Structure 1
């Protein structure tokens, strides 16, 4: 069975807490608040592993695929905390875990894009969201679109973080899964802070297997569902692009969540 290690490493490289287990590892840190520069480091002695991961009790557990057997999660401070719950990573007692996914769980219909632990610039950890928007404000970066937070009625810090296009007419958002998954349905949740926001009335969904569909969108912050073809498809990534704004005086369209429903098998 794969051996997992979860450690808290300080800015100076000192290990401030660690735990190891077969198929399941839990780390609790007691009576010590996180410090700037702290990093949670998850390692496995095997590559290409599917794990359920929750590194803070405030984050939704996510099925994460590690191609190189390592995940590093810097503890966010100051503006970097904006995409996370207000109580996340605070206090002097913390609990996190990682467990190897049971093969029987691969058939569960789930949000394949969900990764509340996604990070800008991450490598070897999936699902992973990327974009050409150039946005650097943590409230509007790509990872916000796959973090599992659907609240769409406002904009700003959690739970109103979103993916913003930073004024680009050619903006795109892509979610990579790291390996083939069986996707059946895409769900878009537009940010709906009207009248501050405008919305997209049309967009294109493109899959890694060449499938492409143009979807019509409504002025709504509710989930809008779109089939990815009869029977679904095996894909390694999906991209949202060709975003057409509605004829509306507001300036700011944005995406609260991109959900991809299907199974790992």
Structure 2
């Protein structure tokens, strides 16, 4: 088992707390609020490691693949907090952990795209969502589509954050897994703040193995499920593109969640 280290590092580089473990590491900070510039640093003694990670009690635990064995998670402040639970990272007592995934867990049917710890511009940390939309408002950035929050009836800050296309008709959203995973089903949750929102009547799902399918969507905020083949497929990424808007006067289509169901291997 790789050695894991989880540390809280201040803006000046001072290590304000640290913990180390062989296959499980926990870090609790007591009687000290987070400060601007604080970063949670997770390090593994091995690269290409699969971990279950939860760096704040309010975030869903996520299976994260660290290609480089390191995750730096800046504590969000001000506008950056809009895509996180309102109580996340607040107060003077915090608890987080990371543990090495047991190989037997890889066969569990799960949401392969879920990563509540995804970061814009992250490198070597998966699943990772990226887009060409150009949206910079934290309420509408790519990571919101894989953070595990399904609430679709409104728009704005958490729990109503979403991926928005920023007015682009050629926008796409891609989720990279960092290594092959076995995907069987894609699930789209459209934002449904009607009549503020419009919706997409169809879109294209493309996988890294060349598979492509056109999906037809309904005006609803409930999950809409689409098969990725009778026996599924081994893929490294999936992309949503070529969305076609409904004939509707509203201006704003958006995606609350992109879910990919399957197994890690």
Report the TM-score range of the alignment, normalised by the length of the smaller protein. over 0.9
The equivalent residue for 2:240 is 240
The equivalent residue for 2:212 is 212
Secondary structure of the corresponding residue to residue 261 of structure 1:
strand
The equivalent residue for 2:77 is 77
Q: Distance in 1 between matches of 2:124 and 2:3?
A: 18
Q: Distance in 1 between matches of 2:198 and 2:68?
A: 41
How far apart are residue 58 of structure 1 and its match?
Answer: 0.1
Alignment of 1:1-265 (within 5 A): 1-265=1-265
Q: Distance in 2 between matches of 1:143 and 1:23?
A: 27
Structure 1 consecutive aligned stretches of length 4 or more whose deviation exceeds 3 Å? none
How many equivalent pairs are there? 265
Q: Distance in 1 between matches of 2:107 and 2:45?
A: 25
Q: Which runs of 5+ in 2 are unaligned?
A: none
Q: Distance in 2 between matches of 1:33 and 1:236?
A: 39
Q: Which runs of 5+ in 1 are unaligned?
A: none
How far apart are residue 104 of structure 1 and its match?
Answer: 0.2
Q: Distance in 1 between matches of 2:202 and 2:2?
A: 45
Q: Distance in 1 between matches of 2:46 and 2:169?
A: 42
Secondary structure of the corresponding residue to residue 82 of structure 1:
helix
Q: Distance in 1 between matches of 2:157 and 2:88?
A: 13
Q: Distance in 1 between matches of 2:238 and 2:169?
A: 19
> C-alpha offsets along residues 24-73 of structure 1, whole Å, 9 cap, x if unaligned?
00000000000000000000010000000000000000000000000000
Q: Distance in 2 between matches of 1:237 and 1:28?
A: 34
Q: Distance in 2 between matches of 1:8 and 1:127?
A: 23
- Length-normalised TM-score, structure 2: 1.00
Q: Distance in 1 between matches of 2:48 and 2:182?
A: 17
Q: Distance in 1 between matches of 2:97 and 2:36?
A: 21
How far apart are residue 190 of structure 1 and its match?
Answer: 0.0
Q: Distance in 1 between matches of 2:107 and 2:51?
A: 15
> C-alpha offsets along residues 90-114 of structure 1, whole Å, 9 cap, x if unaligned?
0000000000000000000000000
Pairwise CA RMSD? 0.2
Secondary structure of the corresponding residue to residue 134 of structure 2:
coil
